[in-house]
Amino acid sequence: MEQTDIINPFQPYMTLEMDGYNQIDRPDYGISHFYEFTIHDKKKHCIKAVPDASIDLLFNIGTNKVSTYISGTVFGVKKWELGTQDDCFGVRFQPGQGLLPKELTMEMIVNDDVEIDGDIFGQNLTEKIALAKTMSCLLYTSPSPRDRSVSR
């Protein structure tokens, strides 16, 4: 069997500017890694994204609401709105892979951030994410392309 090289997409502004940035690599099912961080500075709710050919699924976790965003790759450095709440959990997919709602295509999210209903990936998924206390708990509630219908 031929081995495939894994690309590790990277967003340097996220790792450098976010408090408590933590990442767990997960090189299977088209996923690069899971990540979490907290935004303590209101100015950092918007950071810069750089081209990495990846899609991000970001859950912005508040006390009473979880907002879910899907962000496509960018063509150049651009602003990346991270939502209004301070706690975030995300999934970064391998380049060319992704978990998309059926009504979206990869072309529709290139260079864009789209707010979506996070519960389309699993019943009460956003509630489960809001109640999780650690990234390990979040990993067990996260959507997996193996379990859901996906667009690639």
State the Cα–Cα distance between residues 82 and 149, nearest whole angstrom. Answer: 26
Residues 6 or more apart whose CB falls under 8 angstroms from that of 28 comprise none
Using alpha carbons only, give the angle 91, 96, 65 rounded to the nearest 5 degrees: 25
Q: What pLDDT does 1 receive?
A: 47
Q: What pLDDT does 2 receive?
A: 53
Q: What is the pTM of this model?
A: 0.83
Per-residue pLDDT tens over the stretch 69-87: 999 999 999 998 888 888 9
- Band (pLDDT 50/70/90 cuts) for residue 45 is confident
E-strand ranges in 72-128 read 78-81, 87-93, 113-116
Q: What pLDDT does 112 receive?
A: 93
E-strand ranges in 1-152 read 19-25, 31-38, 46-49, 56-61, 66-71, 78-81, 87-93, 113-116
The residues facing 19 across adjacent strands are 38
Using alpha carbons only, give the angle 80, 84, 85 rounded to the nearest 5 degrees: 115
The predicted model gives 47-56 an average pLDDT of 90
